[in-house]
């Protein structure tokens, strides 16, 4: 017996992307294997590690705990979409590089998406707030020291780039 298929269309990183999948296809697998956007990683498939975190409608969610069909029609941002429009590293990505905020890089996409959304809500976090902001994501390599630093650095870069953007505006 073959499964019923659904056409699922998402606005992924600003681009409409579709694939036809069974209802049980997890959003994480849909992004990774149907759309071949493999930046989103899968570390536990039970919602604890946070590696699969993507933004749906701007809010970070676990893509391993969501069926693609449920979010049909929604706007999704993955780590691939956290770059600057010119493809250069976005502020959170740049901050991770500046602060050595990653080692093996497997958990990193979930941190980048989470922090991107967080700084939108709280552009100038304290160190304690930064630590709290990343507390739902597991990293086994860094001991989090440099990820906390990356959050703070990203806040600086964002503010800087906002100012720079404001200056650049006519």
Partner 1 sequence: MTTSMLGEPIARREDPRLLTGQGRYLDDIGHRALAAAFVRSPHAHARIVDVDVTEALDVDGLVAIYTHDDLEGRVGEPLPLLIPHEALTHGRTPYALAKDEVNHVGEAVVMVVATDRYVAEDACERIRVRYDFLPPVVGIEAARDAALLVHDDVPGNVSAHLVQENGDARSAIDAAPNVLELDLAIERSASTPLEGRGVHARWDADDHSLRVYTSTQASTSVRAALAAKLGLPPDRVEVIAPDVGGGFGVKIMHPWPEEVLVPWAAIRLGREVKWTEDRREHFVSATHERGQLQHVRVGFDDEGRLLGLDVTVWHDNGAYTPYGIIVPIITTTQLLGPYKPGAYRAEFFSLYTNTVTVTPYRGAGRPQGCFAMERTMDAIAEHLGVDRTVVRERNFIQPDEMPFDHGLTFQDGRPLIYDSGDYPATLEKIKKLVGWDDFAAFRSEARAAGRRVGIGIGCYVEGTGVGPYEGGFVKVETDGTVVVATGLTTQGQGHQTVFAQVVAAELGVPIERVAVTTGDTRRFGYAVGTFASRAAVMSGNAIAIAARKVRDKALRVAGEALEADARDLEIVDGTVRVVGSPPGAPGTSIPLATVAVLANPLRYAFDREAERATQFGGPVDVSKPPVAEGDSPGLEETGYYSPPRSTFANGMHAAIVETDPDTAEISILRYCVVHDCGTLINPRIVEGQIHGGVAQGVGGALYERMVYDDAGQLLNASFMDFLMPYSTEVPVVETDHQQTPSPLNPLGIKGAGEAGVIPVSAVIASAVSDAEGFAVTRMPISPSDLHELRLRHSSEGGPAR
Partner 2 sequence: MKPSGFAYHRPSTVAEAVDVLAEVSPAGKVLAGGQSLVPMLNMRLAAPAHLVDVNRLTELAYVRVDDDGGRRTVVVGALARHTDVEHDAAAHAALPLLREALRTVAHPTIRNRGTTVGSIAHADPSGEMGAVLALLGGTVELRSARGTRTVAAAEFTTGPMETSAAPDELVTSVAFPVPEGRTGTAWTELARRNGDYAVCGVGVLVRLGDDHRVVAARAVYVSMGPVPTVLDLTEPVAGQDPRADDDGWAAAGRLAAWRLDPDDDIHATAGYRRQLAAVLTERALRTAARRATEVAV
Task: Yes or no: say if 125 and 152 are a contact pair by the CB < 8 Å rule.
Answer: yes
Minimum Å gap between C-beta 22 and partner 2 is: 7
Q: Interface with partner 1 includes 112 (CB under 8 A)? A: yes
Q: Interface with partner 1 includes 15 (CB under 8 A)? A: no
Q: Choose, by CB under 8 A, the member of 45, 75, 80, 129 that binds partner 2.
A: 45
For the record, the structure tokens of 79 come out as 């780590």
For the record, the structure tokens of 139 come out as 């990293």
Q: Which stretch binds partner 2 (CB under 8 A): 9-17, 54-62, 83-91, 143-151?
A: 54-62
Minimum Å gap between C-beta 34 and partner 1 is: 8
Q: Choose, by CB under 8 A, the member of 19, 40, 41, 50 that binds partner 2.
A: 50
Length of the chain: 170
Q: Interface with partner 1 includes 44 (CB under 8 A)? A: yes
Site residues for partner 2, window 1-20 (CB under 8 A)? Answer: 3-4, 6
Q: Interface with partner 1 includes 142 (CB under 8 A)? A: yes
Residue 106, binding choice from partner 2, partner 1, none, Cβ under 5 to 8 Å by partner class: partner 1
Residue in the block written with tokens 């770059």: 83
**b/e map 116-149, b = 16+ CB within 10 Å:** bbbbeeeeebeeeebeebbebbbbeebebebbbb
Task: Yes or no: say if 141 and 100 are a contact pair by the CB < 8 Å rule.
Answer: no
User: Any idea what DSSP says for residue 124?
Assistant: S
| 8, β-bridge pairs | 19
Q: Choose, by CB under 8 A, the member of 40, 66, 93, 142 that binds partner 2.
A: 66
Give the gyration radius of the chain's Cα atoms.
Answer: 17
Site residues, partner 2 (CB under 8 A): 3-4, 6, 22-24, 26, 29, 45-47, 50, 53, 59-62, 64-67, 69-70, 114, 132, 135-136
């Amino acid at each position: 017996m073959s499964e019923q298929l659904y056409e699922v269309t998402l606005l992924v990183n600003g681009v409409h992307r579709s694939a036809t999948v069974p209802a049980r296809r997890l959003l994480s697998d849909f992004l990774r294997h149907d759309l071949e956007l493999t930046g989103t990683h899968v570390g536990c498939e039970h919602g604890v590690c946070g590696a699969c975190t993507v933004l749906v409608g701007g809010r970070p969610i676990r893509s391993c705990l969501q069926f693609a069909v449920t979010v049909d029609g929604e706007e999704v941002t993955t780590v691939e979409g956290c770059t600057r429009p010119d493809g250069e590293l976005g502020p959170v990505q740049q901050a991770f590089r500046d602060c050595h905020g990653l080692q093996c890089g497997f958990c990193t996409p979930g941190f980048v998406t989470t922090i991107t959304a967080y700084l939108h809500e709280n552009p100038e976090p304290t160190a304690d707030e930064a630590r709290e902001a990343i507390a739902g994501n597991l990293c086994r390599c860094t001991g989090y020291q440099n990820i906390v630093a990356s959050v703070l650095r990203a806040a600086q870069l964002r503010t800087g780039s906002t100012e720079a953007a404001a200056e650049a505006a006519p």
